[in-house]
């Protein structure tokens, strides 16, 4: 199914809505009529996600941070790690714990630990002992990490402006809403399964 998305043949249906003709043919053969539109929509979400990720990675300037690592770096920046890192005697006062990062991103602590390992190896974050709880470790963004984010900001803005060219503010809000409804449905289904 991965190969279905490599060469997109976009067309418009009679109502003017875009679709990928290659995906449509594949899905019609797979589903034999029912449920094809939902599968086409799922394939379109995946293709859109890949398009955004490709443009995002171009903005990374060859410094291949994954979307997950970028998320961790942005969250640490928002947590004020840079200021806390510079403050004398503020070890552990800023940043976030691995658990806090995992909860915020909705992923496992194990996943975040791997991301933090990579970011620490690249000098973009560092771990410090929490001075209030010696058993806990905090993750702080370094000056180099903050500089990396600053350098990444403008290329990201340009990439997002290009990929969402022609979208109105209302289009973007509606698109965000529809994507998050998918997330909400997935969370509801997973909650019912457990």
Residue 159 lies in a domain: no
> Residue 90: helix, strand or coil by DSSP?
coil
Residue 187: CB atoms within 10 Å = 11
Domain annotation covers residue 160: no
Residue 72, domain CATH: 1.10.10.10
Is 137 found in the same domain as 75? Answer: yes
Q: Is the model's pLDDT at 161 over the cut of 70?
A: yes
Q: Are residues 79 and 14 in the same domain?
A: no
How much is the pLDDT for 82? 44
Q: Are residues 52 and 99 in the same domain?
A: no
Residue 190 falls within a domain, yes or no? no
With contact defined as beta carbons under 8 Å apart, do 124 and 145 qualify? yes
* pLDDT tens-digit readout, 45-54: 988 888 887 7
Residue matched to tokens 């771990």: 127
Does 184 map to a domain?
A: no
Residue 129 phi, psi (nearest 5)? -75, 135
Q: Same domain, yes or no, for 29 and 51?
A: yes
User: Residue 111 domain-assigned?
Assistant: yes
- The pair of structure tokens assigned to 102 is 């995992």
Q: How many CA atoms lie within 13 A of 10 on its CB side?
A: 7
Q: Mean pLDDT over residues 139-167, rounded?
A: 89
Instruction: Please say which residue of 112, 132, 150 terminates a domain.
Output: 150
pTM: 0.67
Q: Over range 160-189, report the average pLDDT.
A: 92
Query: What pLDDT score was predicted for residue 11?
Result: 86
Q: Ramachandran region of residue 30, left (φ > 0), alpha (ψ -120 to 50) or beta?
A: alpha
80 part of a folded domain: yes
27 Cβ partners below 8 Å, 6+ apart? 36, 39, 40, 43
The 8-class DSSP code of residue 127 comes to: E
- How does pLDDT run across 56-79, given as a tens digit for each residue? 776 655 566 787 888 899 999 998
The answer to whether residues 82 and 100 belong to one domain is: yes
Taking only the tens place, the pLDDT of each residue in 86-119 is 433 344 458 999 999 999 888 888 999 999 999 9
The parent domain of residue 16 ranges over 1-59
48 with 83, same domain? no
- In the chain, the number of structural domains is 2
Whether 194 maps to a domain, the answer reads no
Backbone angles phi, psi at 139, to 5 degrees: -115, 125
Mean residue pLDDT across the chain: 82
């Amino acid at each position: 199914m991965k190969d279905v998305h490599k060469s997109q043949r976009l067309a418009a249906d009679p109502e003017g809505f875009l679709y990928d003709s290659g995906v449509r043919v594949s899905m019609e053969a797979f589903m034999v009529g029912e449920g094809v539109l939902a599968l086409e929509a799922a394939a379109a979400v995946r293709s859109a996600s890949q398009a955004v990720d490709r443009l995002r990675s171009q903005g990374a300037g060859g410094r291949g941070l994954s979307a997950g690592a970028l998320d961790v770096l942005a969250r640490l920046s928002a947590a004020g790690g840079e200021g806390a890192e510079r403050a004398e005697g503020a070890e552990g006062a800023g940043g976030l714990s691995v658990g806090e990062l995992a909860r915020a991103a909705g992923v496992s602590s194990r996943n975040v630990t791997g991301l933090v390992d990579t970011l620490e190896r690249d000098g973009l974050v560092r771990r410090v002992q929490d001075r209030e709880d010696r058993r806990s470790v905090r993750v702080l963004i370094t000056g180099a990490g903050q500089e990396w984010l600053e350098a990444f900001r403008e290329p990201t803005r340009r990439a997002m402006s290009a990929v969402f060219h022609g979208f109105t503010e209302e289009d973007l809000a509606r698109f965000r809403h529809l994507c998050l409804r998918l997330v909400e449905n997935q969370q509801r289904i997973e909650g019912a399964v457990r």
